A and B are shown apart, each in its own frame.
Chain A
């Protein structure tokens, strides 16, 4: 097989449903377990787990239901964890504002998206009004 040098390879994949507040704990526990299994340090593990908590809660609060896809990934010599949150909720009207931080349609802190972005190594968001939102985060293990 011909693998591009910077292609991210998925080593394992697990899909988890998000449909209640309890799933925030269930999903982030599973993510923490992956980080621990891969030997992430305490800082990286806390950062990834907290970002997962924020984004799972966003699915539950703003879209009611969706899924989290947990993957162990490799990229050249690096090992990481990628989590993708997908929902078919209302989508985000003003993405720039939502990412700037301090804006919330739920009258909460409005720091989940901006904060998660700072906590991880890669952050990608895709949202279409009326169609849903996908957020992908990656945290790499420090060598």
Chain B
């Protein structure tokens, strides 16, 4: 159950619920008042739901979430239930869980908070009119304040869940990307190649180091070529991680060859004063591969002697 997961992720236990309630000044008196409004709410539900969906269907931004009539019928039923739950005067874990599920559902279909909050405003507007129509002014005012409290309480739950779900999606993508971005390729027996592409932050530097060491050990490699042609900026952070990786690779009895060094990067490294003398360096990848093969006692040779055109 995804909403269970978010209850834990957002630490929505009894004490957190109490903290939130007290911050929203959502007291037992408010809950009791909401219960007394249940009948009034029920009386107007159909009208509210109709006008609410008229509003949603009028705007192109929200209409696309309701592709067919069957969907509309289904969401109207869910909406009705959702709306009436506001007037059950409950604010326990179960209630919170229902609200969290709403956030999860919205994130899942990609409904941005803008439209969720905007739609909720419509509810408040409709309710306010009916409350003041049906009740004496003072009572209507008190009722509206209680409604407002529970509505804000609800909205923050949905938003928190929305944000948490979004962050998890991002984190998942980042992890996947990180794995993709450390592709260690076996070029030849004992020779590995790691083409680095993109910015190298702390997490990625660690990942590079771990992957390199693991693969060098696994493959009993004698040489690993690290190509940095795709790294946009080689600063001391990147240099540091390359130097450290080289030192660890050396402990495993292997060499590191750095390739893909452009003229700008060469000049920058010199100005920074970074010492890369522990690494073999070559400007181009091809030269790096030649050096690596040389280190393992192999060499690339033409299949047969090139015929000269004069023959």
Contact = CB atoms under 8 A, between A and B. Distances in A.
A70 B240 CA distance: 27
B48 to A, nearest CB: 42
A42 B264 contact: yes
Interface residues of B, number: 21
Given A115-B271, A118-B271, A119-B268, A109 B202 contact: no
Interface in A17-40: 21-22, 24-25, 28
A118 B273 contact: yes
B236 A108 contact: yes
Contact residues of B: prevailing secondary structure: helix
B201 A111 contact: no
Interface stretch (A5-13, A49-57, A78-86, A87-95): A49-57
A111 B273 contact: yes
Given A111-B272, A119-B268, A50 B201 contact: no
Interface in A96-125: 101, 108-109, 111-112, 114-115, 118-119
A47 interface: yes
Contacts of B274: 109, 111, 115
Interface centre among A47, A49, A57, A115 (most CB of B within 10 A): A115
Given A46-B267, A109-B274, A25 B234 contact: no
A50 B231 CA distance: 12
B37 interface: no
Contact of B268 (A50, A101, A112): A50
Interface string B199-224: 10110000000000000000000000
Interface of B: 199, 201-202, 232-237, 239-240, 262-265, 267-268, 271-274
19 contacts: A21-B202, A22-B201, A25-B199, A25-B201, A42-B263, A43-B263, A46-B264, A47-B264, A47-B267, A50-B233, A53-B237, A54-B236, A101-B273, A111-B236, A115-B273, A115-B274, A118-B271, A118-B273, A119-B271
Interface of A: 21-22, 24-25, 28, 42-43, 45-47, 49-50, 53-54, 57, 101, 108-109, 111-112, 114-115, 118-119
